[in-house]
């Protein structure tokens, strides 16, 4: 079974600084997708960024970028120029080949200090 591990229960960053959240996963599949979701206090899960495993290029969405290391099964999220609104729980998730199920890590709580 696929598993997703987030080894940092909590992280903090100063406003305008850069922070990296870690995620590792375990799978024997070659066709899969990886995601980072943000869950603010409003509770709604918001998709931050998505990476297809077959793409070598790391995904980027404005201030958010990933470092996808397929051989190491690592998928870290870098947030640049952190803003107070970035404070939230961040979840790493795995989806096998477009199947219906997302497998989530346990999350990392990010605090942004002014």
Q: Which residues bind other proteins (CB under 8 A)?
A: 33, 37, 42-47, 50, 91, 93, 95, 98-107
- Token pair of 56, please? 């070598």
State in angstroms the smallest separation of the CB of 24 from other proteins.
14
Q: Which is nearer to other proteins, 36 or 82 (CB)?
A: 36
Min separation Cβ 50 and other proteins, Å: 7
Which residue's CB is nearer to other proteins, number 85 or number 98?
A: 98
For residues 68 and 34, what is the distance between their CA atoms, to the nearest angstrom?
9
User: 38: helix, coil or strand?
Assistant: strand
Q: Which is nearer to other proteins, 73 or 109 (CB)?
A: 109
Q: What is the DSSP string of 39-62?
A: E-TT---EEEEEEETT--SPPEET
| C-beta closer to other proteins: residue 19 or 92 | 92
Least separation in angstroms between CB 1 and other proteins: 10
CB of residue 113 vs other proteins: minimum separation in angstroms? 24
User: Would you say 36 and 105 are in contact if contact means Cβ atoms under 8 Å apart?
Assistant: no
CB 93 within 8 A of CB 103: yes
């Amino acid at each position: 079974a696929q598993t997703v591990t987030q080894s940092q229960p909590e992280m903090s960053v100063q406003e305008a600084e850069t922070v990296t959240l870690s995620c590792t996963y375990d799978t024997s599949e070659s066709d899969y997708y990886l995601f980072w979701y943000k869950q603010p206090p409003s509770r709604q899960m918001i998709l931050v960024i998505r990476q297809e495993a077959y793409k070598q290029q790391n995904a980027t969405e404005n201030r958010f970028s990933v470092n996808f290391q397929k051989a190491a099964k690592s998928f870290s999220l870098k947030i640049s120029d952190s803003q107070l609104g970035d404070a939230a729980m961040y979840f790493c998730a795995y989806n096998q080949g477009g199947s219906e199920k997302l497998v989530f890590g346990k999350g990392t709580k990010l605090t942004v200090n002014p």
